[in-house]
Structure 1
Amino acid sequence: MSTKTDKIDRLAELTAQTETATGHSLWYEAFRRLRSSKMAIIGAGIIALFVLIAVIGPWIAPYSPTAQLWRGEVVPARSVFVGPRAENWFGLDHLARDEFSRMLVGARQTLLVGVVATLLGFTIGCLIGIASGAASTLGGRAGRRIDSVIMRFIDMLLALPSLLLAVSVAAVLGQSLTTVMIAVGVVQIPIFARLLRGSMLAQGGSDYVLASRALGVRKRRIVLGHIVPNSLSPVIVQATLSLATAIIEAAALSYLGLGNPDAAVPEWGVMLAQAQGFFDSAPMLAVYPSVGIIITALGFTLLGEAMREALDPKLRS
């Protein structure tokens, strides 16, 4: 848990520097470095391709993802499957459905789960982080006590393995696609909360905060109008990285049978679970969704790591 919290606190410290030696803002300099970063370009390219497929996939899919048009050609009991061919680029699954069409349509479900789960964790986590950071920065002794109580609860959540926490939440709420979104979102909440709180503490001693307090500006306006906007940089970076984690964890929950109860609806994690029983006779049915999950997560990870390095003064050349 200490390694996880150390990484979060280190990322939060980056907002302490809001202007570089050249006089440009931190985000301007970071964007300038991102444009020349091969890692960022590759990551952004993968993400753009994934989003494009998720958006237009249902319209360009050659067949319905639920249509069993070649039922007589596939006999799972006899290990008879149809591999890639001209009319079925990725072959047929165990129910004689076009695997390529299911991959295209399943990309939308995978993206939807990842984005909604991350937005849920981001929103609730930021609200908790703002409350904790504001209490510690401007709340005096009582505020610091409130901050301490909130952070100990957050540390307890961070101490739990993320997948174990997600499985526990999903098992309590029951099997559904909404459950997967909530479970993965809950895992992200303590990360965003601690990160934003640490970033706000880094900004709390800035000159503009001291000047605002000296001028008698209300604490609420200082927090919401000045500290929070200047503390969001590392949180945005973490949101990019969290999308990769959310996609992997959502696929894991679907693989464990905690996702959408309608197995006919294509989703990469569900497709991977369905292919498990036919791995010996048709291993490619498991390879396609696995590669899709890995490449998509890689894209978000590459872009997020590139953004982290661009913001970190210790990693700049």
Structure 2
Amino acid sequence: MTKKADKIDRLAELMQTTEVTSGASLWREAMRRLRASKMAAIGAVVIAAFVVIALIGPWIAPYAPTAQTWRGDVFPNRGEFVGMRSGNWFGLDHLGRDVFSRWLVGARQTLLVGVVSMLIGLVVGALIGVCSGAAATLGGRAGQRVDTVIMRFTDIMLSLPSLLLAVSVAAVLGQSLTTVMIAVGVVQIPVFARLLRGSMLVQGGSDYVLAAKALGLRKRRIVLTQILPNSLSPVIVQATLSLATAIIEAAALSYLGLGNPDPAIPEWGVMLAQAQRFFDNEPMMAVYPAVGIIITALGFTLLGEAMREALDPKLRG
């Protein structure tokens, strides 16, 4: 079993509470601690700013992001670029396009890729995790064999470097924005699957599950109404953290040329890739999208870590 798999299992164990009657109070306490957390506040502010920019960016962009209005002002073959000035806050790129307008519009593409990729991983991974966890918890010997097969497959996926796996999927499917979403989503699937399965195994040995079995409740009802709702805390936290990872990996795929085949459509990863050729003469072309990616990923990471601490039963006072 890989170190990544061990880490996921420990996270699932760490964040469980075996008293179903304390579920409501757990969430109230978690919200109270989140509101008091400076880390959560900073992360929430960063995420809110990013979402607002992504939503209104195309309407507040001063120029069309694909318009080569000032192409005669730059000479990339001679290393001459136009930097920050009154009409162009972030300067011009190698084709005479306004970098600030492209940065604003590109935020929407980056958010779209991150959210859709995370949802693909969450939905598919959760379905696999529920099937595996239910089979291992209530399926007897046959169920345990099914669980073993599923988990060995997820272990194989977890043993592969995430970026390498994403590149492999993107290379097979071809160059497109949809490909990037699917490739990054596939990387997230085994993480969610193993995390939810581990949570369900912890909950499967709880007193309330034993009581439900003694009352003769159907296994499907026990899983859907008892075990699953009390196993979702670590999955919710992981979804927040996975958004940061998805944004970084999507930008990496775009940087490697596996993203949108039309380079005129702005996206932070594409902008970073285009700026690479001119880094010696105009490094700020790469700095703006890079800073956007870093700060956004940091915001999701801070909020995710704050949620993890707030939901950790061992830290409740």
Q: CA deviation at 1:20?
A: 10
Partner of 2:300: 300
The alignment covers a number of residue pairs equal to 317
Question: What amino acid maps onto 2:300 in structure 1?
Answer: F
Q: Does 1:137 align with 2:169?
A: no
Q: Is the 8 A contact 1:19 1:25 kept in 2?
A: no
Distance across 1 between alignment mates of 2:302 and 2:290: 18
Distance across 1 between alignment mates of 2:226 and 2:198: 15
Q: CA deviation at 1:207?
A: 2.1
SS of the equivalent of 2:257 reads: coil
Residue 302 and residue 281 in structure 1: after superposition, are their counterparts in 2 closer, same or farther (change >3 A)?
A: same
Partner of 2:121: 121
SS of the equivalent of 1:82 reads: coil
Partner of 1:83: 83
Structure 1 stretch displaced more, 20-29 or 170-179: 20-29
SS of the equivalent of 1:238 reads: helix
Distance across 1 between alignment mates of 2:18 and 2:93: 53
Distance across 2 between alignment mates of 1:118 and 1:71: 38
Question: What amino acid maps onto 1:254 in structure 2?
Answer: S
Normalising by the residue count of structure 2, what TM-score does the alignment of the two structures yield? Answer: 0.96
Distance across 2 between alignment mates of 1:70 and 1:219: 67
Q: Does 1:232 align with 2:232?
A: yes
Q: CA deviation at 1:6?
A: 2.5
Q: CA deviation at 1:15?
A: 4.7
Q: Identical aligned pairs, as a percentage?
A: 79
For the aligned residue pairs, the C-alpha RMSD in angstroms reads: 1.7
Alignment gaps of 5+ in structure 1? none
Partner of 2:204: 204
Q: Does 1:4 align with 2:8?
A: no
Structure 1 stretch displaced more, 246-255 or 213-222: 213-222
Distance across 2 between alignment mates of 1:20 and 1:52: 38
Distance across 1 between alignment mates of 2:99 and 2:18: 49
Residue 23 and residue 94 in structure 1: after superposition, are their counterparts in 2 closer, same or farther (change >3 A)?
A: closer
SS of the equivalent of 2:277 reads: helix
Q: CA deviation at 1:23?
A: 8.8
Question: What amino acid maps onto 1:290 in structure 2?
Answer: A
- What is the 5 A alignment of 1:1-317? 2-17=2-17, 25-315=25-315
Normalising by the residue count of structure 1, what TM-score does the alignment of the two structures yield? Answer: 0.96
Distance across 1 between alignment mates of 2:68 and 2:218: 65
Structure 1 stretch displaced more, 19-28 or 41-50: 19-28
